[in-house]
Chain A
Amino acid sequence: MTTHSPSSGPTPGASDSGTGGISSKGLSAGSIGLLGATVIGISCIAPAYTLTASLGPTVAAVGTQMPGIFLVGFIPMLLVALGYRELNNAMPDAGTSFTWATRAFGPWLGWMGGWGLIVATVVVLSNLAGVAVDFFYLMLAQLFGNPDLADLTGNVLINVLTCLVFMVAACYISYRGMETTKAVQYVLVAFQLIVLVWFSVAALVQVAEGSAFDALAFSADWFNPFLAPSFTAFAAGVSLSIFIFWGWDVTLTMNEETRNPKTTPGRAATLTVGIIFALYILIAVATLMFSGVGTGALGLGNEEIQGNVFAALAGPVMGPFAILMSLAVLSSSAASLQSTFVGPARTMLSMGHYQAFPKRFASISPRYKSPGFATLMAGIVAWGFYAVMRVLSTDVLTDTILTLGMMICFYYGVTAFACVWYFRSEALGTIRAFLLKFLAPLLGGVILLVIFATTLYDSMNPEYGSGSNIGGVGLVFILAMVLFIGGIVLMLIQRSVNPAFFQGKTLTQGSSKEHLHMQ
């Protein structure tokens, strides 16, 4: 006699809705309204962190076309997310890129899809921590009025060790399964938005007063992405734009948690993207008008500041209130560090469970009910990656963001094609199915594939990204290759140690129709 749900019986004491109740499923059913869902979406995107990390590299790629690129960059994200949602509805219990890709394409591509996701999130973890370290010392400098403190971040040893401390803290919080409460999340998101708008307005005011660093007159052409200097630049820009919207798709896939599953996710996704669009365009235009795209001290073309633009601009733009920007980016990075840790840890756990990774990765802490070993490994690898990068490249942040864009393109692309292939037998059934299960993911996948191939090819150029190179080959390309080949090697090792997964014994390949018959 086993009951899993005491609340299903006639029990007046227990409520089955609201965050406080015990529910039979893990989801707090019906607890999130439109505002809540929107806040979650914005929180996942972490605009303050995302912008400081991506404004520089985007300007480096497409110059003044940045606002336009931000707009088109959303299109492949949207197309893939529509496919994501269909997969999520069809296989609600199997929801990682890894499991979907394995079901659609079999173990080999499935494994690489999972690997792509893990690598992308591990890379973003290291970048997040890097941005947090910069802002941490900047904030100390602002707090004590001592600019020397901000320079500490330039000391490789101090930087890497501080990053270790942040990583250990994030890892521990993840392991303990601690969560930010709703109230804290609302405050953090509101704070981020206010500070970012403040920054933009302050920058525009300075432009109007003629005190801007390198005032650039506004031009409507900025919104035309096709004026990008070359297809290379366009592809790099789109790849970065995918990074800046990363996390948005969360709102689309929230179903049972929302009060009205039919309308809330769609509306929240629209509202989120509306707010994010407005914010990104405002910031992009304001920074362009204030700083210009030159390579001067505060110019967006300056490689020194590209990896972390707000760190350099907040002071000149916001004056004594610059510390608010530090707080906004720090809190946004911290929240993002936490929500990002969940991704690789759970995917590794899932891969461990299906024996695609060593069994240890599947272990769940009986005390904290979190993927203990996988979380630890994600932390160690992310920190190790950051430490190596910091030593190798002076502009570590820029290069990691470019590598990251590529990795996101890869695993999103694999997932998009997985959707197309998995639903192949029902694609022509209805117009809706054709659009959402076939056309949208196919288009999204193709766009991502093109962007991925282009950026991979272009990144061989030693001038690509920060200009760091090894033996005349761009560092970004080498990074991507190391990560992919490393994945293939690990896959082959796992294949020889434990072939069960690769023989299709743990997860079966098939299409939506076949899986339907099996049930």
Chain B
Amino acid sequence: MTRVANYVVAYEATERGNDTVELGVALARLTRSELRLCLVLPHHASTVPARVGAASSPDYQALLEEQALEWLEQGRARVPADVVATTHLLYADSTTEGLLQAAATFDSDRIVVGASRRGLMNRFTIGSVANALLHSSSVPVALAPRGYTAPEQLTRITCAIGTRPGWTPLLDSLLAFSEGLTVDLRFVTLVEVDAGRGHPVDHAGSQAHLASVLEYFSTRSRAHGEITTEVASGHSVEAAIEALDWQKTEIAFVGSSRLAQPTTIFLGITAHRMLHALPVPLIVVPTGTDARKPH
């Protein structure tokens, strides 16, 4: 039985859940994958049953299940006909745990979750589920910005890359992801200019680094599309992100490792700031992950 490329979509019947479905659809179209719409319900509260008798629980559980199946149908109805989606009602101790187990069960390539609804504009703030996944998932996690709608086709992938060792897993993941796809690729390095101290900005170093990245990537890549590099600088991480142009049909890749140098960025505290400014979906690739071997 051949493995079907698939994404676990963390669905809930909220705006955030809808964003998640939209991102799932966009990614599924790009990589010709299937979607596994998963709704996680808490385990029947066996540790804290109703005092009025467990009697009141089964009825409630049945109603909850009925409602959850209805929600899943609503979620599936949002998936256009060109994408295959299955729905799954799961029970787990926590949403995060349910999603992780679903990803393991379905042998999924990625988990798609919504960013928190509290984000302003169309920008990210990481919700608790997404945050927990980022700390524990062994497959990449795709974060959908608030109010996201799937484009007909994703046309560009931007990969934000740091200069410390450890960027190869990210590139390997991207190589696997983009294999055979017709999509533009852009590698960027973010440079925070500290205006107060006036450190000279090492643009040349960043360029050189990008060149080596480009070399590593282009010798291995089997994607069809233009590959570009860019160094973005700004007074803050947010400003550097905003200095770049972002297309509506774009997604971003980032590694979850701590690649930070004083003036170049990556996850940790700066990553969160970066996410605040990012207007497109972000896929966070865990470090040390073997890039998912396609099929």
Contacts and interface: CB of A to CB of B under 8 A. Distances in A.
Interface string B182-225: 00000000000000000000000000000000000000000000
Contacts of A364: 63-64, 67
A31 interface: yes
Contact of B56 (A1, A23, A25, A343): A343
Given A19-B93, A22-B91, A366-B17, A181 B53 contact: no
Interface stretch (B42-50, B256-264, B270-278): B42-50
Interface in A1-20: 1-7, 9, 11, 13-14, 19-20
B83 interface: no
A192 interface: no
A76 to B, nearest CB: 15
B250 to A, nearest CB: 29
Contact of A6 (B46, B57, B59, B102): B102
A94 B61 CA distance: 9
A6 B54 contact: no
A97 to B, nearest CB: 7
B42 A342 contact: no
A121 interface: yes
A21 interface: yes
A179 B48 contact: yes
A209 interface: no
Contact of A26 (B13, B44, B48, B101): B44
B232 interface: no
Contact of B58 (A88, A342, A366): A88
Contacts of B59: 93-96, 99, 346, 350
Interface stretch (A155-163, A248-256, A482-490): A248-256
A226 B167 CA distance: 82
A202 interface: no
A340 interface: yes
Contacts of B92: 20-22
Residue in B12, B46, B93 whose Cβ sees the most chain A Cβ within 10 Å: B46
Contact of B91 (A24, A43, A177, A179): A24
A22 to B, nearest CB: 5
A242 to B, nearest CB: 13
A346 B51 contact: no
Contact of A121 (B13, B52, B72, B105): B52
B41 A26 contact: yes
Nearest to B11: A366
B67 A95 contact: no
Contacts of A92: 58
Contact of A7 (B42, B45, B53, B105): B105
Residue in B59, B67, B102 whose Cβ sees the most chain A Cβ within 10 Å: B59
Interface of A: 1-7, 9, 11, 13-14, 19-28, 31-32, 40, 43-44, 46, 84, 87-88, 92-97, 99, 117, 120-121, 124, 177, 179-182, 185, 246-247, 249-250, 253-254, 257, 335-336, 338-340, 342-344, 346-347, 349-350, 353, 362, 364, 366-367, 369, 371
13 contacts: A4-B69, A11-B105, A13-B107, A26-B41, A95-B55, A96-B59, A117-B56, A336-B51, A342-B57, A343-B50, A347-B56, A366-B17, A369-B68
What are the 10 closest A-B residue pairs judged by CB atoms, nearest first? A343-B52, A13-B104, A366-B13, A26-B44, A346-B60, A342-B50, A95-B58, A253-B54, A6-B105, A93-B62
